[in-house]
Structure 1
Amino acid sequence: MRRDSIFYRLFAQSPSLLFELLESPPNNASEYRFDSVAVKEPKFEIDGVFLPPDSESLGVVYFAEIQFQKDEQLYERLFGESLLYFYRNRSRFSDWEAVIIYPSRSAEQSNSHPYRALLNSDQVHRVYLNELGEFRQLPLGIALLVLTTLTPKQAPSEARYLLAQSQQPGMESEVSTFIMEMVITIMSYKFSSLSRSEVEAMLDITIQETQVYRDAQTEEAVKLVLRMLPRRLKQELSEEMQSRITALALPQLEELGEALVDFEGLSDLATWLERQSS
């Protein structure tokens, strides 16, 4: 399962979700924005970075790492990249913290001794999804993260539970649509041998709900991509470019949402769009 892209889509939609995993979140958690950054000399790509709001006072930058496979050099890479980025942007931030999300303790790097000072400090937070508590007692956003770890036997009933919760009175339509989108995406990856319609049937989603969902999903995908691109490219998009993106089909929008993390300039976006029309 491509869990990284799923988690980063969740964080892009709701950056404050990361801070629900921490015992002491920042007071301005709702104002953070999620991004990916490049660090040159040498060049590193850090996919999960939570940037504090721009203000007169310096804020804390948070680095997030999703790790579902054991990597025996994870901490070397994570701390090396994070500290280098902090060093090169020292004038922008007052401090840094890192959050590593594991499915369970068994996925953690075996030899962590060289990093004991950092790992035992209040700067580094290790989250084990299987230790967060009873699934149906978790906030919906956190439950979506945990859904990626459930077995094929457990997942369908819990996915249907999340869909039912997303339809409760008072739930904003945008939030409801996003939860449905993420549940179907997670289950499609988990049951990759099934077609989209078979996954929807397994989740008891009606044809009418599916059509309404797909229309809303496309609209939300357009909004999300148009919000992320200017941040990634560090410049606004022209009306002509926005129109071309708005005209994309949902699968293309999803592909663009994953591809844009590698864009370094407007020319990369233009090249990508040309490939779609050829």
Structure 2
Amino acid sequence: MRTDTIFFQLFQTFDSLLFELVGLPPETAAGYRFTSVEIKEKAFRFDGIFIPDSVDKNIWFVEVQFQKRTEFYWEFVGEIFLYLSQYKPEHDWQAVAILAKRNIEPEIPKQFRELLASERIVRIYLDELPENQSLHIELVRLIVAPKRETVALAQRLAGQVGQVDRERMIEFIETVLLYKFPQMSREEVEAMFTLSDLKKTRVYRDAKLEGIREGKLEGKLEGKLEGKLEGEKIGTQRGQVLGRQQALKQVAVRLLTRKFGKVTLKMVKRLDKLSAEQLEELAEAVLDFEKVADLEAWLTSKK
């Protein structure tokens, strides 16, 4: 799963995050709808757009960049003005360039310097985000934190989450961990949260029913009851594989639901046939789908 896919999911789930990143109060997000829009003439696609419900609020364009590209500002500004030309919105606009590090930022073309100097385009450097900010910003820090710091940060975040958003936050933390540590075992993920936290998440419930129950727990139970240590080992390994696959399936279903509004039971059954690697590919491909037929064609190609 690519980083921009993670950010798409993050903005979809926590709609106040963008405004917190640029220093605005979280309630600024009220009345905004986050989406992804393709500029048809050039097949450009923004990482995201926050579209307001009234003309007195700005449209916010978002682009996430984790590698240095000399054409970044040319492309970003080009996408913005193509969008304005194509859709002719009544709203004013601002944009946010989210960069992993300051040292990957390319030279700013002189033609666009005024746009950045006036903060029409705001730059955010993720590695310079201060610590101990809102939980949403701390989630962003979890994505970009060095791997050696990720586990401790995830544990701290899980301990700070309130009851209102607990399920969504724990699920997203788990998603980030699976993204950053694809070889991490289910036990290692579970060890970061209390059992009651995990039982509240859909990812855990489904993984337990589909993977852990049939694999790890069953293997341990049989191994202990029958004295078959090998059964425990095999069951654990099976549970790890199925649990990771089920978590990736849940991510794909959420992305498809947000893209098309509804995912049929028939479609979910087709997802059950995909491997973990194919589910990761699907999570990336969702952003390029324009209609359900695109999804159907993609699934057919994976048979």
After TM superposition, the score normalised by the length of structure 2 is 0.72
Map 1:1-278 onto structure 2 (within 5 A).
2-24=2-24, 28-53=28-53, 55=54, 57=55, 59-90=57-88, 92-134=89-131, 137-166=132-161, 168=162, 171-172=163-164, 175-192=165-182, 194-197=183-186, 199-200=188-189, 203-205=191-193, 210=198, 212-213=200-201, 214-215=204-205, 222=253, 225-230=256-261, 242-245=264-267, 247=269, 248-249=271-272, 256-272=282-298
Report the alpha carbon displacement of residue 67 of structure 1 after superposing the two structures with TM: 1.1
| Higher-helix-fraction structure | 2
Q: Which residue identity lines up with residue 92 of structure 2 in the other structure? A: D
User: Are 1:188 and 1:199, in contact at CA under 8 Å, matched by a contact in 2?
Assistant: no
Report the alpha carbon displacement of residue 164 of structure 1 after superposing the two structures with TM: 1.8
Report the alpha carbon displacement of residue 83 of structure 1 after superposing the two structures with TM: 0.9
- With 259-268 and 245-254 compared, the bigger mean Cα shift is at 245-254
The CA distance in 1 between the partners of 2:281 and 2:135, in whole Å, is 25
Q: Tell me the alpha carbon deviations over residues 10-41 of structure 1, each in whole angstroms, 9 at most, x when there is no partner.
A: 00112221111123469752221211111122
Q: Residue 65 of structure 1 aligns to a residue in which SS? A: strand
The CA distance in 1 between the partners of 2:251 and 2:40, in whole Å, is 33
Unaligned runs of 5+ in 2: 207-246
Q: Residue 76 of structure 1 aligns to a residue in which SS? A: helix
The RMSD of aligned alpha carbons is: 3.1
C-alpha spacing 1:246/1:31, structure 2 compared with 1 (3 Å): farther
User: Are 1:229 and 1:260, in contact at CA under 8 Å, matched by a contact in 2?
Assistant: no
Report the alpha carbon displacement of residue 108 of structure 1 after superposing the two structures with TM: 1.0
The count of aligned residue pairs is: 256
C-alpha spacing 1:253/1:59, structure 2 compared with 1 (3 Å): farther
C-alpha spacing 1:223/1:102, structure 2 compared with 1 (3 Å): closer
User: Are 1:86 and 1:93, in contact at CA under 8 Å, matched by a contact in 2?
Assistant: no
C-alpha spacing 1:223/1:116, structure 2 compared with 1 (3 Å): closer
**2:241 aligned partner:** none
The CA distance in 1 between the partners of 2:99 and 2:187, in whole Å, is 30
Larger-gyration structure (1/2): 2
After TM superposition, the score normalised by the length of structure 1 is 0.78
- With 104-113 and 32-41 compared, the bigger mean Cα shift is at 104-113
The CA distance in 1 between the partners of 2:98 and 2:82, in whole Å, is 21
Q: Which residue identity lines up with residue 104 of structure 2 in the other structure? A: A
Q: Residue 45 of structure 2 aligns to a residue in which SS? A: strand
Q: Residue 181 of structure 1 aligns to a residue in which SS? A: helix
User: Are 1:49 and 1:61, in contact at CA under 8 Å, matched by a contact in 2?
Assistant: yes
Percent identical across equivalent pairs?
36
The CA distance in 2 between the partners of 1:59 and 1:157, in whole Å, is 39
C-alpha spacing 1:107/1:16, structure 2 compared with 1 (3 Å): same
User: Are 1:225 and 1:256, in contact at CA under 8 Å, matched by a contact in 2?
Assistant: no
Report the alpha carbon displacement of residue 275 of structure 1 after superposing the two structures with TM: 5.8
Q: Tell me the alpha carbon deviations over residues 141-191 of structure 1, each in whole angstroms, 9 at most, x when there is no partner.
A: 11111112211222211111112223x4xx22xx32222222222223333
C-alpha spacing 1:220/1:110, structure 2 compared with 1 (3 Å): closer
Q: Residue 141 of structure 1 aligns to a residue in which SS? A: helix
Q: Residue 93 of structure 1 aligns to a residue in which SS? A: coil
The CA distance in 2 between the partners of 1:64 and 1:20, in whole Å, is 14
